[in-house]
Amino acid sequence: MRERDDPEVIGRRVQRLRAERGLTQRQLAEPAYTPAYISTLEAGRVRASEEALRHIAGRLQVAFEELTVGRPAHLATGLRLRLTEAQRVLADGRAEEAAAQYGVVRAEAEAHGLAREQAAALLGLGECALETGELTRARQCFEQAEEQLAGEPLPVRVPALRGRAVAHYLAGELRYAVYLLETALDELNRGGLHDPDALLLLYAGVIGPYMDMGAHARAAQAAEYALALAPRAGDPALIARMHRSVARTLLAEGRAAEADASLAKAAALYRQLSLRTELANCHWMRGYVCAQNGELDRAEAELRQAHTMLAESRAALYRSQAAVELADVLHRRGKSEEAAGLLRGVAGDFSSERGAVHAAAAHRLLGIIAEDAEDTEAAEEHYVRALSLLERAGASGDLADLCRLLGDLLRRTGRVEAALDAYRTGLGHRTVPGTTTLGPAPAHPPL
């Protein structure tokens, strides 16, 4: 609760409320105070005690909080209910409608000095912007939420920090995203702030960047910690998100059955919570797991389902990323023409600042399709573009594979020296598998 308004503001408020109710200063004052005291208070020349203000609030039939800070009774509770409704609308895939609701709540919370409710609305606006692919807008909302919560303990600030890291991750800034998440993990674990929900949010959030950077050992460790923390966490949506992230590392370790089981748990939780976009992302990850396990027919079905659901919810960036995964499966099933058409249809949704890793994957696949069609010039152009995107993002694992493809193409076209340079670049990214150049891993949680 914010401090009460200054005496002049309270005095004017008392005078207005008294006039609206048709009371005289004597009627407002009796029996505990004098009309002269009320006159002095209304003129702003005295700082009334809490006891006096409670007496006056009772006579005026308003809440003490409304009298002292101008905030209607139960406003905070009402705003929290509206935040919950906006969250439900977002979960149903209606990001633009949810953003409008969050925006109204934010304005009211700001007008009445309700910092936590304002921060919650900013978090919601950030999540809406992530879903619609407005990454700069998302990052700004999360930064503003952190500013609102600056005086709160770190566990309270973690959702805003994690949101900012996700915005950087989706923009292709993998190392900075990892830096943000690892720094928070270190502070929580070393400082004894062992909040299960906050830790689970951070460990689940760092898995994707680790995997894209080729830091598989760290990703696996983060997944193990997340699984161990899940029974202590109280948020079902958070637990479901964790299961979805963990599945990717289980698959990388060859544990396909466990990955599939983890995704089944996530899907069940999302259905229970009616989180449409998250459920779509779960279909997406199950398709990824199936594709890596060689079950291409099932992978295609899962990815088509994800793509359709994300298109319906207008989650533009996520839809485009799922399209790249689907195109890869279609190509592997011999449907290269459909795959290329799908990739060309979403090419405009990506840039070096927006979905860089998937943009590179799209160019890589278009290069492979061009090679199959014996269009070496187009293939080389796509490979070079993908290489540039991955170098900027620091996605080491994908870089090594791409350098091999480019090297093979250059060698087949007689450019041996250029091919050797490409191979050497790829080997450089394979030098120390499972690590990053970010320094020591974050401190361990007390499991």
One digit per residue, the tens of pLDDT, for the chain of length 447 reads 456 678 888 899 899 889 988 999 999 998 889 999 999 999 989 888 889 999 998 888 887 877 887 776 567 777 887 888 888 788 777 889 999 999 999 998 888 888 888 999 999 999 999 988 899 999 999 999 999 999 899 999 999 999 999 999 988 888 899 999 999 999 988 887 678 888 888 998 888 888 888 787 888 888 888 888 877 777 777 787 788 788 878 877 778 778 878 877 877 776 666 567 777 877 888 888 888 888 899 999 999 998 988 887 666 788 888 899 899 999 999 999 999 999 988 878 787 777 888 888 899 999 999 999 999 999 999 999 988 888 877 777 678 888 888 999 999 989 999 889 888 887 776 544 433 345 566 766 765
Question: Angle 172-175-177 (CA atoms, 0-180°, nearest 5)?
Answer: 75
Burial (0-12, 13-18, 19+ Cβ within 10 Å), 392: middle
pLDDT at residue 447, rounded to an integer:
57
Q: Are 402 and 386 in contact (CB under 8 A)?
A: yes
At residue 303, the pLDDT reads 92
pLDDT of residue 434: 38
- What is the reported pLDDT for 132? 86
Q: Which two tokens stand for residue 95?
A: 């990001």
SS3 readout for 75-139: HHHHHHHHHHHHHHHHHCCCHHHHHHHHHHHHHHHHHCCCHHHHHHHHHHHHHHHHHHCCHHHHH
Tell me the pTM.
0.71
The pLDDT value given to residue 210:
87
Q: Which residues contact 131 (CB under 8 A, 6 or more apart)?
A: 90, 95, 277, 313, 314, 315, 317, 318
Q: 165: buried, middle or exposed (CB in 10 Å: 19+, 13-18, 0-12)?
A: buried
DSSP string, 276-301: HHHHHHHHHHHHHHHHHTT-HHHHHH
pLDDT at site 432: 42
| pLDDT value of residue 270 | 65
